[in-house]
Amino acid sequence: MSRDKKGIRPLAVIGFGLLLGLLILFSMPLGYRLRYLGRIYPGISVGGVDLSGLRPDEAARLLAAAAGYPSTGKVVLSAGEQSWLLSPAELGLQLEAAASADQAFSLGRAQWLGPLRLRRQPVNLAPVLVFDQAQAYRYLQALAAQIDTPPQEASLQREGLTITARDGQPGRRLNVEATLADLQTLLLSRRDGILPLRVEPVLPIVAEAAGAAETANALLSAPLRLTLPDDGSGQPQTDEISPETLAEWLFFPRSGSAYQVRLNPAMLRAWLEDLASRVDRSPQNARFIFNDDSRQLEVIQPAVSGLQLDIEASLEAIQQAAASGKHEVQLVAEITAPQVDETATAADLGITELVSLQTSYFRGSSSARIQNIQAAASRFHGLLIPPGGTLSMAEVLEDISLDNGYAEALIIYNGRTIKGVGGGVCQVSTTLFRTAFFGGYPILERNAHAYRVYYYEQTEYGYDPTLAGLDATVYIPLVDFKFQNDTPYWLLMETYVNVGARRLTWKFYSTADGRRVEWQTSGLQNVTPAPEAEFIPNPDLPPGKMRQVDWAAEGADVTVVRRVYRQDGTLYLEDTFSTHYEPWQAVCEYAPNIDDPAARARELGLCQP
């Protein structure tokens, strides 16, 4: 028993020692923790500032006052010979004092012996820094406004007919995004330093223009010669554009990294449209007369091929020539062969005999009116109408103008008889109408005169009122006369003006198909007397002078019915031509010094019923 007690005693001593050691080991950190409850453990610094024993709010105030790197650091931004010295704070680096103090306060509290270790091994924490990229970006953008230089493109200048070139120059640009990344790395490392800005060269799109200048100068060294394709005549038409005009049209659009030599397309198109108005033509059949003895055709005018300028294709051809500095351009045009050339024979066309002939008279016509009759009739001499084709007088006559051989003579316009270019052309339309009428051809368009014109009722020896209602007027382009060749044969027209006899003869040659024409006229109906003459003072007339400018005509209605029978006697065509003639007033102009113009008119035989 006593032995056992002796053995237990040493064990108790050992256990007590262990317990005492544990109490000491536990009580020391506990006391340390209690002593620094709510305070930062000793041995802790932030950014070199000792925060031992401070409450977090005190530590935050101390850190904020100390500021450190954001305020005291130095950063130099450099771009070539330019540099800018700034603090990190100016570039957006900020110290988060409260977060840094909280970080220091938390250190050593997660482990029981942590405070003891800090006493043996003090810790200097990095401050919590925040980089405001938006602030730094704004600053770098402001620098970019100073640094960035746009490139200078190569350019071309014209002085007279000379083109000179100036090479392009590179620019530069601050790469803000890449510089911002470099700046963030430097600032967050809390180091001072020199930061080269990411300045990049910006090359011009077009660096040189010498080639375009050389091409342009070659183009302007001579006129641009334009040639139309050969239309078979063996004499191709040419035109040219002067260097001065080319220089005005010249411009240099960019294509990729080079300039092209081009001509203003709007100006060039307008020029080509004008050229087309001068050279475009429809194909023209050969013209013939029929020899009544040999019964063969005799050529009086060779055929002419049609030509139509292809403006778009020609424009592109000219642009291609300009782009290479050439002076010769083949224009693009469509050549159309005529239906009938000068080798055609009467048998080829089915022209074997005279099928219709009519003559009208124009006694009393002025020389100007006779000139117009000759000019208009000549346009139809030798003209061919294809089988089933339609003749339009307006299309054949085209432009009735002084330039086309017409003179000023009396015409009916806006209810009056006045002087106008082409007076007398209706003698031609009336004669053609009668030739088609009595030939039995379908009349597609016919318009009567506003009043009876006694020229159209003349016969070889006098007047025939039954011819009233067989007139036709044309007023291009508003009023036309048209008829159709409804046979399977070509129809040849011949016109003959006998000035001495004051007559116009129109002949149709083709092959007769046996048709026969019968016609009836109502004669003059509802005849209305002409109004009293009108007398108008004209201060431009010499004293005592008077002149008649319009002539009286009775009004009337006339109806003409035509029936065309086939060879077998069956009715082929029946048509009615109704005409209303207005009563027309004689008009005389007189000098203002004439007291009684009516009496003076009687003396002179003017403006009488």
pLDDT tens-digit readout, 319-349: 999 999 899 999 999 999 999 999 999 999 9
Question: Closest Cα partner for 436 from 355, 377, 382, 511?
Answer: 355
Q: Rounded to an integer, what distance in angstroms lies between the CA atom of residue 330 and that of residue 352?
A: 44
Q: Percent helix, strand and coil across the chain, each rounded to 5?
A: 30, 30, 35
Of 477, 450, 268, which is closest to residue 393 (Cα–Cα)?
A: 477
Q: What angle do CA 229, 231, 237 make, to 5 degrees?
A: 55
Structure-token pair, residue 63: 């850190």
Class of the domain covering 210-336: alpha beta
Q: How many CB atoms lie within 10 A of CB 544?
A: 10
Q: Looking at the domain that runs over 514-609, which CATH code has it been given?
A: 2.20.230
Give the CA diameter of the chain. Answer: 193
Give residue 570's Cα distance to chain centre: 59
Query: What is the domain partition of the chain in residue ranges?
Result: 36-147, 210-336, 353-445+461-512, 514-609
How large a percentage of the chain has pLDDT more than 90?
56
**How far is Cα 129 from Cα 190, in angstroms, rounded to an integer?**
9
pLDDT of 150 reads: 94
d(CA 256, CA 363): 77
pLDDT score for 99: 80
Closest CA to 86 of 98, 97, 77, 99: 77
Please tell me the predicted confidence (pLDDT) of residue 39: 84
State residue 67's pLDDT score.
65
Which positions ≥6 away from 322 have C-beta within 8 Å?
219, 224, 246, 261, 262, 263
DSSP sequence for 493-527? EEEEEETTTTEEEEEEEE-----EEEEEE--SEEE
Mean pLDDT by 10 residues, the chain (609 residues): 54 56 54 75 79 78 72 89 89 79 73 66 80 91 92 92 93 93 88 92 92 93 91 77 94 91 94 92 94 96 93 94 91 93 95 97 85 91 97 86 52 47 77 97 94 87 92 87 97 96 96 96 93 89 87 91 96 96 88 89 86
CA dist 454 and 474 (Å) reads 17
Q: How many CB atoms lie within 10 A of CB 312?
A: 11
Instruction: HSE, CB side, 13 Å, CA atoms: give it for residue 428.
Output: 32
Q: Do residues 537 and 590 touch, judged by C-beta distance below 8 A?
A: yes
Q: Which residues pair with 534 in a beta bridge?
A: 587
Element (H, E) at 425: helix 425-439
- The answer to whether residues 361 and 503 touch, using CB atoms and an 8 Å cutoff, is yes
